[in-house]
């Protein structure tokens, strides 16, 4: 069984405390050992007990307190990093954290550490302004939370989602091919269409338009975003509540969608 020695674990606290205390005791015995030959039996016993218990009590207590405080600091830093990377309303990644994670994956892909393939989807809520105007901003926030949860419910493994604008989300599917990517996009669209959104007991339909691109080979987040955004505009122009998608070989969404019929 592997012991957790991360900065936030009790394993590190225990290991450093025990190892450090043992070092203090060994150092005390080593320094005092030069005096041992000249001591009487009683004095020798007393010296050894002092060399054992003084570092054990003082050194052990100090190390434990120090590592406990360092663990608390590490936990606080981890919590702050999570807060800094999370959209406060929808609890998904914010724009900066999302783009950073995608760029990190693409860097690894260029080094052949991970699969040099995947997809980027941009999901935009249709007619969102009318929700805010007719139902109020509180209901608009509820709609965004529902959309975010619905998107998360369709993702698996290393897939990530971030809120990149007011009513705009992005999804990254590392390692996914064009077929799976389009299927995920279409499933997201359908699930949001089917989602029960009834603020105040009155049902209100939700829908999203999705633009996407699957990649195979070196690319950048900026380049993918431009293509996906162009397809999002196409989905909006064609009537909304639909997916417009591009594969690595330039095959459009209609061609990919044909694989599901």
Which active-site residues does the annotation give?
167
Comparing CA positions, the residue from 86, 85, 228, 207 lying closest to residue 147 is: 207
Token pair for residue 154? 């369709």
How far is it, in rounded angstroms, from Cα 162 to Cα 183?
19
How far is it, in rounded angstroms, from Cα 216 to Cα 116?
6
How far is it, in rounded angstroms, from Cα 167 to Cα 239?
18
Q: What is the DSSP letter of 213?
A: E
The answer to whether the beta carbons of residues 148 and 94 sit under 8 Å apart is no
The answer to whether the beta carbons of residues 246 and 227 sit under 8 Å apart is yes
Which residues face 174 on adjacent strands? 118
What are 234-240's contacts with CB under 8 Å, separation 24+?
235/209, 235/210, 235/211, 236/124, 236/126, 236/209, 240/126, 240/127, 240/207, 240/209
Comparing CA positions, the residue from 245, 240, 209 lying closest to residue 227 is: 245
Sign of the alpha-carbon torsion through 29, 30, 31, 34: positive
Can you tell me which residue has the tokens 């809120």? 163
């Amino acid at each position: 069984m592997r012991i957790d020695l991360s900065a936030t674990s009790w394993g590190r606290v225990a290991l450093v405390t025990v190892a450090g205390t043992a070092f203090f005791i060994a150092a005390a015995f080593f320094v005092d050992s030069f005096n041992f030959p000249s001591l009487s039996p009683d004095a020798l016993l007393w010296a050894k007990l002092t060399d054992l218990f003084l570092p054990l009590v003082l050194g052990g207590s100090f190390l434990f307190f120090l590592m406990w405080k360092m663990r608390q600091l590490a936990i606080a830093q981890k919590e702050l990093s999570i807060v800094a990377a999370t959209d406060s309303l929808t609890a998904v990644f914010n724009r900066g954290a999302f783009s950073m994670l995608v760029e990190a994956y693409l860097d690894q892909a260029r080094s052949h550490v991970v699969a040099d393939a995947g997809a980027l989807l941009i999901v935009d809520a249709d007619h969102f302004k009318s929700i805010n105007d007719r139902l109020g901003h509180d209901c608009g926030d509820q709609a965004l939370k529902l959309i975010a949860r619905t998107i998360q419910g369709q993702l698996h493994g290393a897939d990530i989602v971030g809120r990149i604008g007011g009513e705009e989300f992005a999804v990254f599917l590392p390692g996914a091919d064009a077929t799976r990517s389009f299927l995920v996009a279409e499933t997201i669209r359908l699930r949001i269409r089917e989602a029960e959104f009834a603020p105040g007991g009155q049902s209100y339909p939700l829908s999203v338009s999705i633009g996407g691109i699957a990649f195979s080979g070196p690319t950048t987040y900026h380049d993918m975003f431009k293509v996906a955004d162009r397809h999002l505009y196409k989905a909006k122009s064609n009537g909304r509540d639909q997916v417009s998608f591009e594969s690595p070989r330039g095959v459009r969404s209609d061609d990919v969608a044909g694989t599901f019929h």
